Structure formats: structure tokens, C-alpha cells
Amino acid sequence: MSGALDVDITVRQGAFETRCTFCAQDGITALFGPSGAGKTTALRTIAGLVSGAAGVVRVGGKVLLDSAQGIDVPAEKRRVGFVFQEGRLLPHLSVAANLAYGRHGGRGPSGPALQNMAERLGIGHLLERKPRTLSGGERQRLAIGRALLSDPALLLMDEPLASLDPARRVELLPMIEMVRDEIDIPIVLVSHNVSEVARLAETLVVMDGGRTLAAGSALEIFSCFETDAVLGQGEAGALVEGEVTAIDSEFGIASVDLGGAKLELTQDGFAVGQHVRLRILASDVSLAVGDASAMAGLSIRNRLSAEIQAIAPDLAGGPYAELLLGIREGSLRARVTRKSLVEMELREGQSVTAMIKAVSVERRRSVG
Amino acid sequence: MSDTEIQIVLLSLRVAGVAILIALPLAFAVAWLFARHDFPGKSVAQALVMLPLVVPPVVTGYGLLVLFGTQGAVGGPLRDWLGVTFAFRWTGAALAAGVMAFPLLVRPIRLSLEAIDPTLPEMAQTLGVGPLRRFSTITLPLALPGLIAGGILGFAKALGEFGATITFVSNVPGETQTLSLAIYSLLQSPQGDAAALRLIGFSVVLALGAVIVSELVQRRLGVGSGDE
């Protein structure tokens, strides 16, 4: 397998071993997990900042690390941009000089590229200022701009949003999406925020205790049981993507096609043809045996035919059971009580109707 | 001021200037070693560097005599191979001044090096910046306040050095008789009071000037980058 980015690394630091394995395509890959999971270590190893790492790192076919072949490209030759959690700005230089530092430490020509980058990141009016006078969000944008000006083949971001208050976070998210959409390089982002990951990630790598629990397409990984331990039971659920096919303005309802299955959403502001990514929590999905799609006398309108693909016991040993459901394209998660499981005689392979009580919209994008 | 007095001042400036110019890079290297590295015997090395500050200057002067005298363990080979002699020469006065000022140079440089965020060079690495460029764009500018503070303090100390100089290279007019030594000699002679006072006044002006210049330069640089 090979993609825009291939990572298979093992790092030993004292008694702690970090293993991280994934393949990513273009777009954003999220390294997700609790603190101490080894996410930052993995990121630093990809950048070449950790010595003695074993394994392979390839970016767009270029080998940066292959310990079996004795290849270990030094950090300054990897062309891997790194946005550190704390910004790491040069305190004695102006914003402009900090940006220019991305060009071979201030030696390369910058001029229009620098001005252009500053404008796009919304810091064009701050060029004369010193970093200490900037807000947290401005500092992060400066750090992103500086990394991008170094013309990287890969951009790494270590919790770029963690140090920001919610309002600044909302400002910076679209900036990261702009970078993703306008600059054609893979991005790897460390996060322990579920909604950030649900919104941004194309590829999801779930880590815990120095191990990679699951890695793959965000849509697949979000709904698999392995991620529940990291997400927490309350956050377990599925990500699905679809297209808005119709708007019923009389009732304020938008129809979304999920590869054959139809959902109705009430949120405003949709347009026909828009691509949407939706998150459906396991606790918001109820099950009915048989074909309930035509059943009258139910206020829940979103009823999808599904097949039970797997059943797992409640993680905490509580009264629930976790179910993985296959719909036409993609999957859903549902949580029912163990009592229902027994009384309804639910089993793997069975056809059911999934009734969805709530949906949150994580991403919407008009396709031009 | 008389020609002799001007000669004394010029000699003192040369001795102190040469002493600091040579000692400053060495002090930077030592400060870098202490600030960024751990090695066995570090505390002994730190104590050794600080020694001239605490030992009586006469003792330091005697130590220099033993090591760098014409028959000394270092002085002998230096004379034979490089033709550099210290005994009764202004070079010896500069060596004594440099050694006495060394601890005063190391300390502020070390403090400013320790205040540099150690993660900044790593950041520069990810931008493709090589080690030399990292040094000249991060370490050096951020250590500059310490270099200036240490340099000025050391220069003032070197200018006024007395004990080690007189012990090591004696009090030779025109060669090793720097400001302090000349003032001392003038005060010993009955007619010297007026000349001594002029030199005293001059050394006070010089010291004040040095302090003011260092303040101005530091302010101009916007030193104390102000973060955190």
C-alpha cells in the first residue's frame, strides 16, 4: 500500500514504546487519542526530531526514514512543516520577519508570497508587530504561515487549537480548511477533540497507550468499536457523508441522500447539491425489528433499513449493548439496552430499521 | 592631561580592549557549555571559572606567573613556538585583566543563553534551517544582551585591574603601568596628587560612560524580549 503519506514507526523512549502505523491520502489525517497516547511523539518522529526511530516514513514516494536501509533524512532536509502547539515564534523578530524565517531562515526571497500568505491568514495588518503582542489565534496563524512559506511537502500540526478559547477556535478551523483546500499537501493533525476530528479528518488514526488502535478512512474508523474506548461511550457514533437533494421550504426540511438511503434534516442554510458530513451518535439511534419504514404512528421520520453487522457488550459492563449497522453505503452505530437485545432477539446478520433521533452537521461544502 | 597621562589612558584602553576581545568568545563558549550541556566534573569546572572572583587577586597573579612566566608550564612553550611573551609586557597585563574579568563575562552570557527557549532551534530545523544559520539567527541575537552586559562589565573590571597585574607583570611605566597602577604610583610620590586626581576623574568618567552606553545599547535592541 502506498499513498501520499506512509508511516510505520516504532520509537522507544525509556520504558515507553510508541508504535504508529497508517497510510494517508491527501487531505487531513487526524492522530486522535488521550494525552500520553504517543500522538506528539509520532508527529515528532515523522518530522525527524526524534533520534533512534525504527521503521518507515514516506511522503509522496520520497523516503524520509527507512531504518532497515539505514536512511534517516535529517529534520532540516525533510521539507516537513511543523506547527507546534505553543507556536514557537522568534521573540526578537517582527511578524513579517517571523514569516520570512520560513524561507531558509530569512535568507530566501519572500516579498509577494509573504504578503499574500499574511493576507490569506488574516495577519496582513500585523506585519510590523512583535509576536508577544499577538493573541493566541494570531500567533497560531503566524506559525502556520511560516511553516507553509518553507514550501513543505507535508504539514504537521500538534494540537493547533488546544491553546485557544472556543471563539478563537471557531476562527482558526476555517483557516486550517483553507490550507487543506488550497495547498496540495497532506496534513497530519494531532487532536483529542472529537468534534474537531469529525469535522476535519479524512483519515483517522486512533492511538492509546503508545499503540495504534485503528487507522483508516474517518468514516469507517469513527463507527468501529475499537475507537469507543478513546472517544468515550457518550461520543460513540458514526460519521456519514451525503448530498443534499431537495429542500422542502414549506416544512423547512432538507433531504440528504446517503448513497441510496434518505435522511431528512431540519437545519437551515442547506442548498441543493451541497456535500454534507453528518455525525449520528449511537445513543440517538433506536432499532425496530422488520420493515418499519412504512409504520404509521411514529414521529421519528428518519428510518433507514439496516443490517446488524456486529454486536459488542457495553464497554463499562453496564446495561447496554453496542451495535454496528450496515446501511447501503457506510455504517451506523446504535446503542440499545441488553434487555431489548434479548427480548427483540437481535443477532448479527438480522435486518432492522434504524430510527435516527438526532443528527449533527459537521461539515458542508458546496461542490462547484 | 600631560602626554604621560594620555599614554597611560591609551595603554589601559588597549590592555582592557584586547583582553575583552579575546576573552569574550571564550567566555561565550564556556557559558554555552554550562548552559546547554551536562558533563562529569561540571561543578568543578564552574568553580574553576569563578575562582578569580573569589581568590585574592595577588594569588591569581602569582598563579599566572607560575603558569605563563618565561619558565612557566604554558609560558615557556608559548615563547618557544609562537614567540609570545607575557613577562613585563603589556600582553601580560592584558592576560591578567582577561583572566580577572572572565567570570564577569561568563555569568551574564550564561543567564541570557539559559533564557532562550530551547525548542526554538528545533522549530528552525523543521523550516530547513541549518546549524550555522540557527546559531546566527536565534542563539546569537537572543544572547546579545548578555554579551553586551558581560562585555561592558568585564571591560570596566579589566580597566581597573590591579592586584593580579602588579604581581604578574609588575609596574613598568609605558608597558604594564595601567590606570590603577599609575594612580597607585602617583599617590606614593609627594608631587603626584594632582596627576593622580586627573586619572581618578578620568577613570570615573570612563566607568560611568561604559555603564550608560551599555544601558542605551540594551534599550535600543529592545532587549529582554519581554515574553513570559
Q: Same domain for A243 and A221? A: no
Q: Same domain for A247 and A227? A: no
Q: Chain B residue with minimal CA distance to A99?
A: B127
The number of beta carbons lying within 10 Å of the beta carbon of residue A193 is: 15
Question: Would you call A130 and B226 a contact, using CB atoms and an 8 Å cutoff?
Answer: yes
Q: Same domain for A198 and A268? A: no
Question: Would you call B129 and A105 a contact, using CB atoms and an 8 Å cutoff?
Answer: yes
The CA-atom distances, in angstroms, between B173 and each of A141, A278, B65, B69 are: 65, 91, 19, 19
Q: How many structural domains is chain A composed of?
A: 2
**B225 to chain A, minimum CA–CA distance in Å?**
6
Pairing of the two strands A203-208 and A28-32: parallel
Look at residue A47 in the predicted model and tell me its pLDDT. 95
Taking CB atoms and an 8 Å cutoff, what residues of chain A touch B117? 88, 91
Q: Same domain for A227 and A242? A: no
Residue A147's CATH number: 3.40.50.300
**A150 to chain B, minimum CA–CA distance in Å?**
6
Which domain range does residue A251 map to?
Answer: 237-366
Domain end, chosen from A195, A210, A231, is at A231
Q: Same domain for A225 and A129? A: yes
Q: Same domain for A282 and A142? A: no
List residues bridging with A307 in a β-sheet: A326, A351
Question: Would you call B126 and A75 a contact, using CB atoms and an 8 Å cutoff?
Answer: yes
Contact A273, A367 (CB under 8 A): yes
Question: Would you call B123 and A84 a contact, using CB atoms and an 8 Å cutoff?
Answer: yes
Q: Same domain for A90 and A113? A: yes
Question: Would you call B141 and A92 a contact, using CB atoms and an 8 Å cutoff?
Answer: yes
Question: Would you call B126 and A147 a contact, using CB atoms and an 8 Å cutoff?
Answer: yes
Q: Same domain for A219 and A247? A: no
Please give the grid coordinates belonging to residue A331: 455504517
| Per-residue pLDDT tens over the stretch B3-13 | 889 999 999 99
Look at residue A293 in the predicted model and tell me its pLDDT. 65
Look at residue A367 in the predicted model and tell me its pLDDT. 61
Please give the grid coordinates belonging to residue B178: 595601567
Please indicate if any CB of chain A lies within 8 Å of the CB of B70: no
Look at residue B143 in the predicted model and tell me its pLDDT. 93
Q: Same domain for A181 and A328? A: no
**B151 to chain A, minimum CA–CA distance in Å?**
21
Look at residue A230 in the predicted model and tell me its pLDDT. 81
Please give the grid coordinates belonging to residue A203: 483519515
- ∠ Cα A195 A84 A123 (to 5°): 85
Question: Per-residue confidence of chain A (368 residues) as pLDDT tens digits?
Answer: 456 899 999 999 888 999 999 999 889 999 999 888 999 999 999 999 998 899 999 998 899 999 999 999 999 999 999 999 888 999 999 999 999 999 888 887 767 888 889 998 999 999 999 999 998 899 999 999 999 999 999 999 999 888 888 888 888 888 899 899 888 899 999 998 888 899 999 999 999 999 999 999 999 898 888 888 787 777 888 999 999 999 888 888 899 999 888 899 886 788 888 999 999 999 999 998 877 666 777 788 888 889 999 998 876 778 889 999 998 888 999 999 999 988 998 999 999 999 998 888 888 877 64
Residues of chain B with pLDDT under 70: 221-228
Short-list B120, B100, B137, B150, CA closest to B36: B120
Domain end, chosen from A204, A231, A258, is at A231
| For chain B, domain boundaries | 3-36+46-220
Q: Same domain for A243 and A213? A: no
Q: Same domain for A291 and A260? A: yes
Q: What residues of chain A have any CB closer than 8 angstroms to a CB in chain B?
A: 47-49, 74-82, 84, 86, 88, 90-92, 101-102, 104-107, 130-132, 146-147, 150
The CA-atom distances, in angstroms, between A226 and each of A189, A222, A286 are: 20, 9, 21
- ipTM given for this complex: 0.80
Q: Same domain for A114 and A196? A: yes
Look at residue B225 in the predicted model and tell me its pLDDT. 42
The CA-atom distances, in angstroms, between B132 and each of A88, A361, B64, B140 are: 19, 50, 35, 10
In this structure, CATH architecture of domain B3-36+46-220: Orthogonal Bundle (1.10)
Look at residue A297 in the predicted model and tell me its pLDDT. 73
Domain end, chosen from A181, A211, A231, is at A231
Question: Would you call B137 and A102 a contact, using CB atoms and an 8 Å cutoff?
Answer: no
Q: What is the DSSP string of B154-220?
A: HHHHHHH--HHHHHHH---TTTT--HHHHHHHHHHSTT-HHHHHHHHHHHHHHHHHHHHHHHHHHHH
